Amino acid sequence: MINRILLVEDDDDDALLFSDAMDEIPESLICERAHDGREAILILEANLPLPDVIFLDLNMPGMNGAEFIKQVKETASFDQIPIVVLSTSKLDSMNPIDARVSRFITKPDNLATLVRELQKILFEVKVRVR
């Protein structure tokens, strides 16, 4: 069962769209947001229950998405958390990290599309964690 989600996103508008999409999904989920990779690492290290899935933007100031993925996947206590890249970047630019992520989706520009994508992803993750 999925209970916790971590969104790593520096753009407030994209984070709001994600939050609105999560409100449309009829499950009780706790969604926490980090504004960059460094903040996300601090959240993971805070000994809170770990998230069941991480949604990650690639292009962020400070620690970007690729650096975050590298650090998470090299840390034994975090390396099994599925990471879904949610970015405007093209898949081609991810070659070094694409094998380390569970899924890549291009950021949709409307709520309905994002809700559909999130529902599919959350279902896939739920099936894996059973």
Predicted confidence pLDDT, tens digits, the chain (130 residues)? 668 899 999 999 999 999 999 999 877 788 999 999 999 999 999 977 899 999 999 889 989 888 999 899 889 889 889 999 988 866 545 554 555 677 888 888 889 999 999 988 888 777 565 4
Distances (CA, A) of 122 to 5, 53, 94, 109: 10, 8, 22, 19
| Torsion sign across C-alpha atoms 73, 79, 84, 86 | negative
Q: Is 123 exposed, middle or buried (0-12, 13-18, 19+ CB in 10 A)?
A: exposed
pTM: 0.88
For 85, other C-beta atoms within 10 Å of its C-beta total 26
Question: Residue 40 belongs to a domain with what CATH number?
Answer: 3.40.50.2300
Tens digit of pLDDT for each residue in 21-48? 999 987 778 899 999 999 999 999 997 7
Q: Count the domains in the chain.
A: 1
| Pairing status of strand 30-34 against strand 53-56 | unpaired
Type and span of the H or E element at 56: strand 53-56
- Angle between helix axes 37-45 and 65-73 (nearest 10 degrees) is 30
Which residues form the domain of 113? 4-129
